[in-house]
Amino acid sequence: PRDTLTRLETMSMMSDIDMPLTAMRMQIASGINIIVQVSRLQDGSRKMTHITEVLGFDLTSSSYITEDIYVREYEGVNAKGEVISRFEPTGYIPRCLEQLVEHGMDLPPAVYQAAERRKATAK
């Protein structure tokens, strides 16, 4: 997902609009809430690998602030050469949840369950 943001920067810099890099990064960070990353795995299949919330841009470190909501966990390859993996919630509840709910969307129960487990292990 971070590569997605830097690719957007690159495409923006190719335009005729002259904008300072910091201002462009701030615009990108404020204009995108969620990135759904799809990648080709080693067996040739395409799978979602991340669902990530973009929280902003940190001027001090010059980096995007992101938090994974879901990530693909890899377990290996089976006898047929297929990648064995699971798409798992991280336990992070996105800050944009209220906006999702306003648009009639909600997170699957597994996300809330993972958040409870994450909270319990943090104590």
Which pLDDT tens digit goes with each residue over 1-16? 989 999 999 998 898 8
Give Cα separations from 73 to 1, 13, 76, 120 (angstroms).
16, 34, 10, 21
List pLDDT tens digits, range 69-89. 999 999 999 999 999 999 999
CB count in 10 Å sphere of residue 8: 18
Average of pLDDT values for 53-71? 96
**pTM to 2 decimal places:** 0.90
With tokens 């080709």, the residue in question is: 40
Helix (H) or strand (E) holding 89: strand 83-89
